[in-house]
Copies of this chain bind each other. A is one copy, B any other.
Amino acid sequence: MFDSSRLPHVMTAQDYAAFEENLHERLLDAQFELAERKSASVLVLVNGSDGAGKGEVVDRLYEWLDDHYMETLTYGPPTDEERARPRAWRYWRDMPAKGRIGVVLGSWHHHLLLGRAQRRLDRAAFALALAEINRSEEMLRKEGVFLLKIWLSMDDRLARRRLARLRESNGALRRPAVIEWSEINRRKERERLNAAALEMIEITSTGDAPWSIVPGEDHHYRDAAIGDLLLQLLRRANTGAAESPGRPEIVSASPAAPAVNLATGLDLSRKADADDYARDLSDLQRRLTEATTSKAFRVRGLVLAFEGNDAAGKGGAIRRVRAALDPRRFRVHGVAAPTDEERARPYLWRFWRNIPRRGDITIFDRSWYGRVLVERVEGFAAEDDWRRAYQEINDFERQLVDAHYCVVKLWLAISPDEQLRRFEARETSAIKRHKITPEDWRNRDKWPLYEAAMTEMIDRTSTRFAPWTLIEANDKKFARLKVLRTILERLEA
């Protein structure tokens, strides 16, 4: 999950200054509206690796916001008073009143992760605790408490270096660094903690209270991203709690939001070696035939989901996959407008009905991800509906993987220029003319919105059991080979 956080995220000081000036004013406006309405409160949970900059983030929030209407809530090892009561008591004691913002260091998630890393909790207790967290947070949301759950991510070695530096220069600091994981030093424990954090983030990222992973390497980027997230949450709290409980108006992505995403991080210039292409292709196809006709495959199943920019070459790639498959064992399912039958049933029904038997293969040419892509961008789905879809989709895919299916999700990415070239070529080609419509041109105008939706989709649904693979598709041959190679790798894993 949260693949985008592993990309380099940088923002120049100049960009940041312009962004921040604008943001600061809007944050203050939103905060005062919250304080005036008194119909909702906000908790900003700052979690993440030690050394990733949690203390700096809190400082920045105090620079931006009015400190009369906010408070810092820090939970370290429990005090005598706290130890004498149930675990949740101290969080309840400090619950901010409506109209106020609480900045939380050491939230309930943190202490749960510590317990798991130190083996004080077994798998069952951890699973139960995560389910309990989801119920509690849902209750808070319904009682008017909006949560911004931030996970500051940073390469572990870098974080430890930063931390050591902070410790050495402690004299120069106004106060000691905010250290949460200090009990976790042994490598084994850190690894267990990271695994537990990943599981926690997957399970507790709900529609109303998802985790936002913010890369901490570049402090300009980090602060801009967090400021933007907070502004969006404050706006939801201000509108959501007023007229339409549970169904806030759509807050469009801030135009000044940091323009880093997965697609822009790809090297689209990658090319296949034209001389070897035919040989490589037939070699990969032969291996795919073997893999899908093997005895081992009969108790499994393969579900392929193809998504990507318009004209990215999904059809061509699917044809190369299909050619390697036994025609009695696969089906290509193109996702069109839903039928009456489908509209009369829950959203995922139209995909469930096309799940293959074990030993068979379904190729989805566009998939259930339409909910968080086209339906989100075009407004076909209400915001609450596409927001809850991330978790529902993860649950859906987990059920497939638990049943021994292999779920391969491929995003074919091309650059806007390459798309323009292909659109124009289609219009002049007699064969390909039917493949281009006025709608394609309209979608093209919404490129940034689709790009934002795609980034969030991949961040929220690239799970350990069903990861996304991004395919650089400006060169069709490169894309086709990488598609085949990805499927083979996943099948062999």
Interface residue ranges, A against B (CB under 8 Å): 38, 41, 81, 84-89, 92-93, 95-99, 122-124, 127-128, 130-132, 134-136, 139-140, 142-145, 203, 245-247, 301, 341, 344-349, 352-353, 355-359, 384-385, 388, 391-392, 395, 398-400, 402-403, 405
Contacts and interface: CB of A to CB of B under 8 A. Distances in A.
Nearest to A394: B135
A399 B344 contact: no
A246 B247 CA distance: 10
B395 A92 contact: no
B395 A143 contact: no
A92 B86 CA distance: 41
Given A85-B403, A87-B403, A131 B124 contact: no
Task: Give the residue among A203, A348, A391 with the most B Cβ atoms within 10 A.
Answer: A348
Contacts of A356: 85
Given A97-B344, A130-B131, A140-B346, A399 B88 contact: yes
A352 to B, nearest CB: 4
Task: Give the residue among A122, A134, A143, A353 with the most B Cβ atoms within 10 A.
Answer: A143
Given A89-B355, A124-B127, A127-B127, A385 B142 contact: yes
A463 to B, nearest CB: 14
Contacts of A247: 245
Contacts of A385: 142
A132 to B, nearest CB: 6
Nearest to A391: B135
A390 to B, nearest CB: 12
Contact of A135 (B139, B142, B348, B395): B395
Q: What copy number does this chain have within its complex?
A: 2
23 contacts: A38-B344, A41-B344, A84-B357, A85-B358, A87-B399, A87-B403, A89-B355, A93-B353, A95-B345, A98-B344, A98-B345, A122-B124, A123-B124, A124-B124, A127-B127, A130-B131, A131-B134, A131-B203, A135-B391, A136-B395, A142-B385, A143-B346, A246-B246
Given A95-B345, A98-B344, A136-B395, A388 B85 contact: no
A131 B142 CA distance: 19
Contacts of A142: 384-385, 388
Contact of A403 (B86, B97, B135, B405): B86
Given A98-B345, A131-B131, A346-B143, A353 B395 contact: no
Task: Give the residue among A144, A344, A395 with the most B Cβ atoms within 10 A.
Answer: A344
Contact of A99 (B97, B344, B358): B344
A353 B92 contact: yes
B127 A131 contact: yes
Nearest to A340: B97
A306 to B, nearest CB: 21
B352 A93 contact: yes
A17 B140 CA distance: 46
A346 B99 contact: no
A352 B395 contact: no
A285 B45 CA distance: 47
Given A352-B89, A355-B89, A144 B97 contact: no
Contacts of A135: 391-392, 395
Contacts of A301: 85
A272 to B, nearest CB: 36
Contact of A139 (B88, B89, B392): B392
Contacts of A143: 345-347
Nearest to A348: B92
B346 A144 contact: yes
Contact of A86 (B85, B130, B344, B405): B405
A17 to B, nearest CB: 37
Contacts of A400: 86
A83 B308 CA distance: 33
A86 B347 contact: no
A399 B86 contact: yes
Given A123-B124, A346-B140, A399-B87, A97 B341 contact: yes
